[in-house]
Chains A and B, each alone.
Chain A
């Protein structure tokens, strides 16, 4: 490849990586944490017991919904597993006469959902979004309409894909250089770290970025649909087939025991079920649609069965999807990683950390490189100052925000109204405070401070768990609850990591300035990432 091509791709790599790099950092951090979403759903509700008998939860869910919403239009009941806190059921009330059939109400509405715990009763747990917050945040962000957030994240993801591929083609000796790690050499060390984390998990980074685009495909690339269909619902009916809709009869008839349906479905599917939707419960026309668990196969588009809600007879089975639909489903499944067992989950998590470090080191590398080229280091240009401060605000501040989110989960009073929202507010309040500090105080002072505070708070968190909850590390180990114990342990490890990082940064003395040559050409040459 010619030098001109490599240089052009080097330029592209730098800017497509930098301009939305801070968004990508947020997405990577939240997305990586979201791999433990189920565990965090439990960890953030320390009051509730582990689910031992999923069928008991199902029976309890049905009993609860029959009492609470007997005339609902539909019930949604996830099938609980040992990993989930229970079943987060919700229901859609009948539309009132005259009310237009619009979108289903926002999923977060508290008045039409409830958590059924391990004993089949409504769980007495603190109100929290749990691990689901991280999952949602990494594409819906917060405090903005979800469509805007998904466009922003989608755009950033496309830039990430461009950055990865341009990074590969621009790097002459990409695999040979992978093994190098020159330490304490300023810019070159940062470059080596960036290369190592990037190349090490390169298959993962390519996969997660492209499949991330696929998950947002309906929003980002709807034009193929427009070309073939007058009405996109025709396509959706083809891709997401369902049994025929039957009209409500108005004759009340008891709903069959859902456990029977779940058992029959699991037998027919040969795999666990995950999702039950009951339409018109309590009516003669009730239907029960049950989906296979996404944990049991690669594709996210799992087979579904529809039963008659009164007799329990199988009425419809989803047809096998076509190759393209299956491929898209597999890509979404790869992105979510739900198919992975514990070992696979850890691999995803470690690769996600590598990705986070890759993005962070790339952002810092930009300032380290530019600093060496500054004409007057005491008065850098605006762009440099902005990037440097944003780096501190985001890379230093966001982890601190997450730590405060966890602490808010522990400390906010249980009776507080809107408690779940306030946990999230605490994250952003803490982050805003950190960001403000980053813009006001010198970066050299703020970096170690933010890391140190984060480290201290993280290390203290499992200690609090031991003292103030009955799900501390030792208690969890004693009952064999490795997920909760693992989360506490991981938090400790990260805390220590941040403390070590804080110490390292505090002791950092920038390498002595290299003697600048008089040639202006050196200063204006486009730097290659691979130098």
Chain B
């Protein structure tokens, strides 16, 4: 492999990494934040309307933080699986909670 090939390969690797981070920071960050909005809406104590509003307010900030994490993570793949895991946890919490006590 020549030096030119190595250089080209590195460039494509970098582009791939950025592409993964873009996926992580836009659709995945939004999905993760939305799922956590649902989980928090279920978990937060008190009046349902109040919990719903609080959860939505927090989720907006979480979305921005998730997008930042997508670029701060050591690699694009790491960004994706960590956010994916967070999303899955939130989804599980929501599912179990709705299954248990239902919705208003």
Q: Which A residues are within 8 Å of any B CB, using their own CB?
A: 5, 8-9, 11-12, 16, 158, 161-162, 165-166, 169, 210, 213-214, 217, 220-221, 223-230, 234-235, 238-239, 322-325, 327-328, 331
Known A-B contacts A224-B37, A224-B41, A224-B55; the reply to A322 vs B50 at CB < 8 A is yes
Q: Is the CB of B60 within 8 A of A220?
A: yes
User: Complex formed: what's the CA distance from A213 to B60 in Å?
Assistant: 7
Q: Is the CB of B60 within 8 A of A228?
A: no
Residue of B37, B72, B98, B104 touching A221 (CB-CB under 8 A): B37
Q: Is the CB of B71 within 8 A of A9?
A: yes
Q: Is the CB of B38 within 8 A of A8?
A: no
Known A-B contacts A221-B37, A226-B38; the reply to A324 vs B50 at CB < 8 A is yes
B residues near A8, Cβ cutoff 8 Å:
71-72
B interface size (C-beta, 8 A): 36
Residue of A210, A214, A230, A328 touching B103 (CB-CB under 8 A): A230
**Most B Cβ at <10 Å: residue of A161, A224, A234:** A224
Q: How far is the CB of B49 from chain A (nearest CB, A)?
A: 4
9 closest cross-chain pairs (CB), A and B: A227-B38, A238-B49, A224-B41, A324-B53, A224-B55, A224-B37, A223-B34, A12-B71, A324-B50
B residues near A325, Cβ cutoff 8 Å:
49-50, 53
**B73-84 interface code vs A (CB 8 A; 1 in, 0 out):** 000000000000
User: Complex formed: what's the CA distance from A197 to B64 in Å?
Assistant: 22
User: Complex formed: what's the CA distance from A219 to B53 in Å?
Assistant: 13
Q: Is the CB of A5 within 8 A of B104?
A: no
Q: Is the CB of B68 within 8 A of A228?
A: no
Q: How far is the CB of B2 from chain A (nearest CB, A)?
A: 16
Known A-B contacts A220-B60, A325-B49, A325-B53; the reply to A227 vs B42 at CB < 8 A is yes
B residues near A223, Cβ cutoff 8 Å:
34-35, 37-38, 41, 56, 59
Known interface pairs A217-B57, A221-B56; 4 further A-B residue pairs with C-beta atoms within 8 A, sorted by A's residue number: A12-B25, A210-B61, A220-B60, A235-B52
Q: How far is the CB of A510 from chain B (nearest CB, A)?
A: 30
Closest to B30 in A: A158
A residues near B67, Cβ cutoff 8 Å:
12, 16, 158, 162
Q: How far is the CB of A171 from chain B (nearest CB, A)?
A: 14
B residues near A324, Cβ cutoff 8 Å:
49-51, 53-54, 57
Residue of B35, B37, B49, B57 touching A327 (CB-CB under 8 A): B57
Q: How far is the CB of B62 from chain A (nearest CB, A)?
A: 10
Q: Is the CB of B104 within 8 A of A228?
A: yes
Q: Is the CB of B56 within 8 A of A217?
A: yes
User: Complex formed: what's the CA distance from A322 to B51 in Å?
Assistant: 10
A residues near B59, Cβ cutoff 8 Å:
221, 223-224
Closest to B74 in A: A4
Q: Is the CB of B52 within 8 A of A214?
A: no
Q: How far is the CB of A162 from chain B (nearest CB, A)?
A: 5
Closest to A325 in B: B53
Q: Which of B2-36 contact A (CB under 8 A)?
A: 25, 33-35
Quick check: is B47 within 8 A (CB to CB) of the other chain? yes
Q: Is the CB of B71 within 8 A of A323?
A: no
User: Complex formed: what's the CA distance from A5 to B71 in Å?
Assistant: 8
Known A-B contacts A228-B42, A228-B48, A229-B52; the reply to A162 vs B57 at CB < 8 A is no
User: Complex formed: what's the CA distance from A459 to B37 in Å?
Assistant: 50
Q: Is the CB of B60 within 8 A of A210?
A: yes
User: Complex formed: what's the CA distance from A364 to B43 in Å?
Assistant: 46
Q: Is the CB of B53 within 8 A of A228?
A: no
Q: Is the CB of B41 within 8 A of A228?
A: yes
B residues near A327, Cβ cutoff 8 Å:
53-54, 57
User: Complex formed: what's the CA distance from A217 to B34 in Å?
Assistant: 12
B residues near A328, Cβ cutoff 8 Å:
53, 57
Q: Is the CB of B103 within 8 A of A158?
A: no
User: Complex formed: what's the CA distance from A210 to B60 in Å?
Assistant: 8
Closest to A221 in B: B56
**Most B Cβ at <10 Å: residue of A162, A220, A328, A331:** A162
Q: How far is the CB of A207 from chain B (nearest CB, A)?
A: 13
Q: Is the CB of A227 within 8 A of B64?
A: no
Known A-B contacts A235-B49, A327-B57; the reply to A165 vs B71 at CB < 8 A is no
Q: Is the CB of A12 within 8 A of B68?
A: yes
Q: Is the CB of B103 within 8 A of A229?
A: yes
